[in-house]
Structure 1
Amino acid sequence: MLRVESIAVRFGAVQAVQDVDIVVDPGEIVAVIGANAAGKSSTLNAIAGIVKTSGGRIVLDGVDVTGWSNYRIARAGVRQVPEGGGILNSLTVDENLRVGGNRMTRDDARAAIEASYETFPRLAERRNVLGGTLSGGERQMLSIARATISAPKLLLLDEPSFGLAPAIVSQVFELVEGLKRGDIGVLVAEQNAARAFAIADRVYVLQQGRAVLEGPPSELEKNSALVESYLG
């Protein structure tokens, strides 16, 4: 599905990402972990077409999408949930979900929204509540639900645990893990290594914009001291 080949991202004189390779297959959760400013968000933003790469290639389903706009990447089946979520505060929960299904027929969108309410029963209870009044956990659930309404090929999650209480983080990560039952590939950037290890099939450790370790969680946990040293 996704092949990131030696990408680089530069902001002026700052090299945010350099020579990073990532693979995400259908139905797989892959985590990118690292300390603050390790290059996690820049990597996801490059894949989503939000920032331009200064080197390397991004290949989606065998198609080189390097340099494509964010809009075109989204049309190709990639959805991103930014850090802190990405909902419209002035719209209700139901209206936010309808925005997520705006490229679907009315009947298909309604069926997908009702399916989301089954997956996220708390959102069903709050369907007529404005997004701006939701709790942090509810906002994150709504962001994920809205991003998955149209059954994307690839979901990008940037720091899904950011600012959430531990109990809510557990709920959010259980929902993310549930996505593996479909064919959606998930790439999650996360500073909380323990949470990432618990759900990921494979983990990449970034330090100063470079991938310094890679492997399944079971292998990286054998070198936990080394992983911790890269996480600061």
Structure 2
Amino acid sequence: MLSESMMGMMAHKIAIPNFILRFGSSFEVARKKLDVLEIESLKVTYRFEEGRDKVYLSHHHALPLSQSASGLQAAIPLYVVLEYFSSFEAKFFAIEEPELNLYPETQKQVLEYIVEKCTPKNNRLVLTTHSPYILTALNNLIQAHNVVKNKPKLTEKVNRIVPAEKWLDFERVGVYYIENGTARNIMDNELNVIDATTIDDVSETLSEEYEQLLNLEYEE
């Protein structure tokens, strides 16, 4: 599906950015090596069969990836590439806006999958996002590590909430807010988490607007 799209663009002499070409090449390699990938968070199974990318919604119900929902079309190639290449040592992963076309709950699951696959084995990960859900999910993974670091006796309880393979050490994470060409560090070094005010800016604004509207409605 991805390769077909690129071939179509090339046939029409449409310039394709190098990073898309590189990702397409990685996907080509990964799908031939994996053949099958069960993706629990998306509740689907991906198969590369007879030269085609297929999505199985059940054991007997399949459709071409190119005809699936836009969220699946965006997420599945990423899952396939990460599943294969994360098995190697010291890889550098750069992922742009993994939240595109995904519901908030799925964004959380995708973020956790990315962290689980891309952070072990001396791998490095750079991720860009516009989603407060991604940042909040990231904060939870950091906080899980914080709790266990401060109170090791709670390891088992924390693991039941957030599995250990997804924990993130605050000291190994950097988060920056980019505005008007300037990057601002938004890590809270006192609480050892991402600055919550930055995460909640939009939600706070929406809540304030809603409260103002309610006040107007119930004014005497």
Report the TM-score, using the length of structure 2 for normalisation.
Answer: 0.45
Q: Which has the higher contact order (CA 8 A, sep 6+)?
A: 1
Instruction: Select the structure that is richer in strand.
Output: 1
Q: Which has the larger share of helix? A: 2
Which one has the largest radius of gyration?
2
The TM-score with structure 1 as length reference comes to 0.43
